[in-house]
Amino acid sequence: MPTCPAGHQSAEDDFCDVCGLAIVSPDAAATEAMSTEVGPNGQPCRSCGAPLAGRFCEACGADSLATAASPATASPTGPPPTVASATRTAPLPMPLPTIDLAVSAASEWTAVISADRAYFDVVQAAEGPDAAAVAFPAYCPERSFPLRSKEISIGRRSTSRGIAPDIDLTGPPEDPGVSRLHAALLAQPGGGWAVVDVGSANGTTLNDDPTALSPNVPRPVAAGDRIHVGAWTTITLRTT
């Protein structure tokens, strides 16, 4: 049974079931470090077209290995950048309310994922489990996910468990505080949304309230609300 850097024994061989820290061998870690240091030399930057000499573009700073472009490089007049949602192959671990109404077509809702330094500082100040072992990422481009179904799962992909959340928070960079199935967004009558923690290991908070949401109890959310999960991940709801 593999052991994580914090000393926990885990049934998973990629991320610890207890604290969420990555489990990698020294050889794998060295290989990963090399792969993330160097970008596709000689290829043009996907954001500005400048030749790449490493992972990050010297002209605009874009990450050549990121799965989605930063909103700063997107056209201000076009639709928000999106990442294709994965199809969940494992059910949520709780019965969720049935919503008979379709998501309102009058407005477009988007979940924007970012690394939130202020939230990270709150987590560190609370001295949660293994908080000292988690570092704030040096670079984490924003990602956008359109909300186009009645139920949107949030978590980290696990091939061994057959889990592929609609909002997949798998790195890099990796937030080890996010559970495989952490939370969900539920469409509400009238076109709004509610967030529900589905029994995550580290809880879910909303805006500036440090009190974790009660598991399996939906909480209505509005445009501009910030949903905090893991050690530094914030999900901001936006609408047009």
pLDDT digits (tens, 9 = 90+) for 4-27: 777 777 777 777 766 666 676 555
Name which of 171, 14, 159 is nearest 89 in CA terms: 159
Name which of 152, 119, 140 is nearest 230 in CA terms: 119
| pLDDT tens by residue, 106-121 | 579 999 999 999 999 9
pLDDT at position 219 is: 97
Q: Which residue has the tokens 């139920």?
A: 151
CA distance 177 to 174: 9
Which whole-number Å values give the CA distances from 146 to 76, 103, 126, 150, 151, in the listed order?
Answer: 17, 12, 32, 12, 12
pLDDT at position 178 is: 95
pLDDT-derived band at 224, boundaries 50, 70, 90: very high
pLDDT at position 109 is: 95
DSSP letter for 37, please: H
Handedness of CA 20, 21, 25, 30 (dihedral sign): positive
pLDDT at position 2 is: 75
CA distance 62 to 105: 33
Give the range with max mean pLDDT: 67-71, 77-81, 143-147, 157-161.
143-147
DSSP letter for 176, please: T
Decide: pTM greater than 0.85: no
> Residue 237 pLDDT > 80, yes or no?
yes
Q: Which domains does the chain have, with CATH numbers?
A: 68-240 (2.60.200.20)
Token duo for residue 43: 């290829």
